[in-house]
Amino acid sequence: MHSHVAGDPSKRDFEQESTRAGAPMRVRARGRAVLSNPMTNRGTAFTLEQRRALGLVGLTPTGVTTLENQTKRTYEQFRRASTPLAKYLHLAQLRDRNEVLFYRVLTDHLEEMLPIIYTPTIGEAIERFSHEYNRPRGVFLSIDHPEMVEESLLNYGLGPDEVDLIVVTDSEGILGIGDQGIGGIQIAIGKLSVYTAAAGIHPRRVIPVVLDVGTDNLGLLSSDLYLGERHARVRGERYDEFLEHFVTTVDRLFPTAMLHWEDFGAANAHRLLTRYRDEYCTFNDDIQGTAAVVLAALLAAVDITGMDLCDHRIVIYGAGTAGLGIAGLVRDTMLRSGRADRTEQVYDRFWPIGINGLYLEDQPELLDFQVPWARSREDVADWDVADPDRVTLQDVIRNVRPTILLGTSTRGGAFTEEIVREMAEHCERPIIFPLSNPTSRAEATPANVITWTDGKALVATGSPFDHVDHKGVRYHIAQSNNALIFPGLGLGVAACQASRVTEAMIAAAANALAGLVNAWRPGASLLPGMNDLRRVSATVALAVAAQAEKDGVARRPLTNPIDEVYGRMWQPTYAPIEPI
């Protein structure tokens, strides 16, 4: 059942079975109330019979149109918008007016619209949140009023078994643009739009949440239009108590929901995931989603090299939250393969580099989650380096002769011609992934990497890049976009009502994704394209649900997996209406 209205279901404006595709919409509201609700409103597509039954006669233009024609008209309006932000605002207004039409347009043009409703355009929408504010969507929780957390979540109007997903951010680490205060609600909304468009999670089974813990962004604090709490970001014990209160309240009110952490700062992201992952159903997309999609591309690339994953030497340039999230999942995959029998043997395959060069065990600036990855001084004792306290990427490439180079540094152009050529000299098929977003921050362009290695390199990027033509071969560049993983993961968790998200479930998602490509053809992409997201998400969901059952965390194991997963995938079509 579903509605905006909390409390007694018999008083709700509309009801719909939200775990079954194609279920009828039962509408109690009449007249303009029907048109003002984005889930019931279908504008000019109401039939004459529906208009009479719902008190809409005279409230819409006389002509009756189809969803297909509405989609065509709306897409033309979208194309006319002159800037990415204008396109974003057009789609946001459409979602607030007619949710089915919004998702229909989005699913029909997902590859084109994903960069608008999600990265990179959403970054600008978040920065402009208080200026462009139109109507509220989501739940705003203030650290200054912890006593209102429960009331606020209940006011969203969903019952204990009506929520599959809660995406929450504290807006500290938004998309490389940093602390954005209350505007971070937009990243939670954008993420949930992708869950729905790509995996058919019902738009009324999700809650976007922003934790307003203050902001250190002086531009926001000094703006008289800013809509969040006007004080510095709260940290330490009070922050932790607020988070604990939030998590336990969510678990009590919505016991089957997955809690998705989004864009928390580096100091908190790992800490919170570690704190809650074994007790609650929780997932951090920046750490685990990024890791899974990169692992999928790596598995496809490693397959081509003919060398076992455990034998590769891996350099991670920019070894922060995302970089070490990838390293952790690759490490666990090596251990699960049975080829590597000891954890320390596996750590030996990784060379992490941060702002002060190669991580060395006695560096005081390393954070807790970085310490296990640091190399010993003996590892570099016989290297010829200019500065033993700051071992550079160049030093590491020359001495380690890596087979895999991953960039998560946001330092545009850091993989220079000299570095790439040096790596290719000692490696038949170098795996080089410049993963930083946006394109201006990518460590190298695919065109350069392919030219400098004479087409030998296996490449995946974080941002979308055009194909590269080199010596008669067209190279399709894999975009390791988290949207290939997290929607399917969420769908799989919801379908089997998993009580936890285990590392093995994330690895299963990566393996399922890697299995969808045939990367052997010269120039083939290492990952599926964005235009195939529904098939990708369903495949990932099936693998995740099966692994959840193996791990003993599926509260409702699937008896007929394909039917149960596809049957849950909401389609953006107008459901039959039953006036009540």
Closest CA to 26 of 53, 47, 65: 53
Give the C-alpha separation, 218 to 541, whole Å: 42
Give the C-alpha separation, 345 to 342, whole Å: 5
Closest CA to 527 of 516, 535, 538: 516
Give the C-alpha separation, 153 to 140, whole Å: 9
Count the Cβ atoms, other than its own, within 10 Å of residue 152: 15
Based on the residue annotation, tell me whether 276 is a catalytic residue of this protein.
Answer: no
Based on the residue annotation, tell me whether 191 is a catalytic residue of this protein.
Answer: yes
- Of 88, 103, 156, 191, catalytic: 191
Q: Which helix (H) or strand (E) holds 459?
A: strand 458-461
* Contacting residues for 148 by C-beta, under 8 A, at least 6 apart: 141, 142
**Tokens 């597509």, residue?**
45
- Written as one letter, the residue type at 89 is L
Residues across the chain: 580
DSSP notation for 300-332: HHHHHHTS-GGG--EEEES-SHHHHHHHHHHHH
**Tokens 């607020």, residue?**
242
Ramachandran angles phi, psi of 174, nearest 5°: -75, 110
Count the Cβ atoms, other than its own, within 10 Å of residue 131: 11
Three-state DSSP at 419 gives: helix
Structure tokens given for 499: 């009580």
Q: Is residue 365 a contact partner of residue 356, using CB atoms and an 8 Å limit? A: yes
Three-state DSSP at 411 gives: coil
Q: Summarize the chain as % helix, strand, coil (round to 5).
A: 45, 10, 40
Q: Is residue 544 a contact partner of residue 505, using CB atoms and an 8 Å limit? A: yes
Sign of the alpha-carbon torsion through 322, 324, 327, 332: negative
- Of 87, 88, 103, 118, catalytic: 118
Q: Is residue 490 a contact partner of residue 164, using CB atoms and an 8 Å limit? A: yes
* Contacting residues for 44 by C-beta, under 8 A, at least 6 apart: 60, 61, 63, 64, 65, 70
Q: Is residue 548 a contact partner of residue 510, using CB atoms and an 8 Å limit? A: no
> Angle 345-350-356 (CA atoms, 0-180°, nearest 5)?
135
Give the C-alpha separation, 203 to 163, whole Å: 10
The catalytic site residues sit at: 118, 191
